[in-house]
Each structure stands twice: as C-alpha cells, then as structure tokens.
Structure 1
Amino acid sequence: MEKLLVIFIFASSVMAEPFIKSCGNFSLRTSSSRDEDVDTRNNIRKGLMKAVNISNMFELKYNPNLEDELRKMKSCDDINHGPNFRVDLKPDEKVKTFLQKLAKAMKLNILYVGMFHTSAIEYFHPGQSFIAWCDLNVKCKEEYVDDKNEKQSIETDKILIYGPMGTYSESDFKFGEPGSDCPNGVVTPPCEWSCELCEGPEVPVKTTTPSKEMSAGNSIDADSAAPFASVVLIYSIILLVNIVNVY
C-alpha cells in the first residue's frame, strides 16, 4: 500500500501539465487570426507615431524564433525581461510616467491614455520590431501601481514578448517627422496597417523547430506530447515495481 502511495504521488508530479501550452498557434483574441493581431498592434503604434510625431517607430513582425526564449520559462516567476526581448505586462514605472506625461501634453485619444495607465507599455516601444507569444496552462498575476498610486493586478494565461531590445527608456523615443529616423526607410505598399512605420529587419529563418517533432511520418507538437511522454514513463515505473514485487 505504501509503495502504491509513493507511486501515486510521483505520478501526479510527473503528469503535471507543462507551463507552456503552445506558442504562436492561437490569436490573442479568439475572433481574429495571428496576423490580424499583429496588424492591429501596428495600426495602434502608427496612430501614436502620428499623434506625437515619433520618428523611429518600427513595424512589428511575428518572430517564431522568440518562442524559444518563451519555452525556457517554466513558471510565472520566470517571466522576466531578457537581453534581446522584453515581456509585456511587467511594470516599468519610469517609462509609464513618461508616457502618461506625453499623453497629457498631447491630449491623446483615450485609447492611449487607458493603455498608459496599466503596465502594458511594451506595446509602444518604438525600437521593437519583433513580437511572439505563448499560451500557458496556468494563470499568472502581475501587480502594478495606477495613476492614483493604488495597487492593481492583471491576470493572464499568455506570455507576450517584444524584441530585439532588452532595455526601455525615454531616450528610445525620437521625435520629428514620422519615418525620418528609419535606418531602412519606411514600409511601403502593398501594406494595410503598417504603412509609414519604419521598415524593420526580416524575420530570421528558423533553423530548428523545437515545437515540432516528426514521429512515424507524423508531425507532433512537443508541448502536447509532453503529457503523453509522462504517462508512458509512469506506466513503465508501475510495471517495474510490479516486477520487483513478484520476484
């Protein structure tokens, strides 16, 4: 009986769902596609660019390579900025204060004012050109202080990151004619939402595909395969214990 209890406890820990559920497969809003989500963000970035004359606002592109950084995170405590990316919904009071002052001075649309009063300010980092996200099997909570100096919290079951910059400060914002500080020029047609934003680097070709493994000619998602592998391991352990008991 004691052996069965030990096996049960061990099996429960092994069968626990992985932290990352899947990456890049689902849109941030169930009613839209991934590309539409990126387009929406580019459209809002362009709106801010024109509203306050930011001259170096880059176009965002989905970069599957950033998913590798997300897969390194194994718990809510691991969700932090990295050297080549920044995590959304992480408080940065200095930049938030700067953006709030900008909104007040320019009498910005309420859409921007509302965003600047939360910790979702990574959205507007002009130097970022890549974006990626993963869905989680758990919900993580992040706290921030609002404009009334009161603590608020945001709960999410997704991690969203921007790259390639790992820092964020007022000096990242350049002002002047929109597009005048774009090293590679601006995005030109054909484009729908990102026209006039700075042309960013191309998304690097992904040489490895950790989220996909080929088995018997079939494509298997590594995230969804993890629980299956755990089950196989558990049954193997139980079988081994039974053999030991017999002999």
Structure 2
Amino acid sequence: MRKRAAAANRARPAVPFAIPGHMIVLIKNLCCIITYPQFTPSRAKSWVQVPPFGTIFLLVVYLCFVLALEFVNNDVAGAQYWTSLGIRAGWLAIAQMPLLILLAGKNNLIGLVTGLSYKRLNVLHRWVSRIVLLMAILHVGYQNTGWNKYGVRSLEWSTDSCAPTGMAAFALLIWLNVSTLAPFRNFWYEFFVIQHVLTFFGFIVAIMYHLPSTALETRTYIWLPIAP
C-alpha cells in the first residue's frame, strides 16, 4: 500500500487514508509498543543478553506448546507410565531438529519469508536448542526413573545399545548449549564456530546410532534438515 501511494506521488504515502488502513497501523503500533521493550543489563554484566519482550513472549508460547505436546494425553497407567513420558520427550527433541537447523543458517526460508535478520533468528536458534536440551533431560530422567523403579536399569545398560549412545548424544548436546553462552562464544569466536560445527557433527552421529532400528522413519528428522 505504501509503495503504491509513493508511486502515485502522494504527499504522505506512509499515512493510510481509509479506515482499514488506520486499523492496521493502529494494531501494528500497539504490537510494537508491547513487543519492542528490552531490559538492558549494567555494563558489569554486559555478557548477559536479554531478548526483547516480543521474543520472550514468542519463546514462552513455544515452550508451553512443546510441554503441552509432552504431557497432554500422556498419562499411561501401569509400568509404562515413565517410559511413555520419556519416549515422547525424546521424540519431541528429535522432531525439533529441522527447526533448529533451519534457524542456524544465514540464508534460510524463515528469514526469506519474514525479512528478519540472521542475528535475530540466531537468538531463536539458541533458545530452541535449549528447549531441545530440556526435552533430552526429560527423556533421560524419565527413562532412568522407570528403570530404577522396576529394577531393570543395569539390565538396560548391559543389553541395550540405546543407553550408551544416548548418553553420548546427551553429553554433546549439553556442550553445544554451554559453549553458546556469551562468555565462551565471545572469547574466541572463530574457534567457537569450528568446535560448534564439529561437535554438532558428532552429535548427529551419536543420534543416528541412538535411534532404534525399529523406527527408521524418525531419522527423516535428521536427514532432511542437514541434506542441503
């Protein structure tokens, strides 16, 4: 609308002249007022970066959505209670891999559609990674809780290859998140990028070994995002 008004040589092309246009501008301005404020820490804590309120709101909504997928209609009675919670948390961690990798690229579909810069999208990339880590923590915690409750933990670790490969992937995922904290990331950025890529490669290998052979279709969530 603004481009058409400018092409028509209107004196004030940014100002709408119809009621629907005024409503759109009003809604946009209200959204800006709500979402743009940002808390800026003191210089002594300059490494602490707090996103704008709009980004925080988006991430909270996304976290609530993922937690709802984890716990809603997932109250299985009996011995499978902890296993059901743990397995669903693991699948939710895997299912977020395409979004995680999509947000990591400087040129990606989300940036192309929304016009957001790589720097803004990278904030979402780091926080989605932390939500993936949360799901992995729930996966490990619920699985081990169920094994301990029914006395099969040692049997699982001695007979099932998923346990050691899963812990390898879990350890690499923890380091991927810890190393992205500002003090580590800013200390030597070039080294951070190299080790981040190599660690992620190791994480992908561990995940591929960890995923059960009876659910090969789940590896699609790994192959598709890394294929390009």
Q: So what's the TM-score if we normalise by structure 1?
A: 0.23
Of the two structures, which has the highest relative contact order with CA contacts closer than 8 Å and spacing of 6 or more?
A: 1
Structure having the higher strand fraction is: 1
Q: So what's the TM-score if we normalise by structure 2?
A: 0.24
Structure having the higher helix fraction is: 2
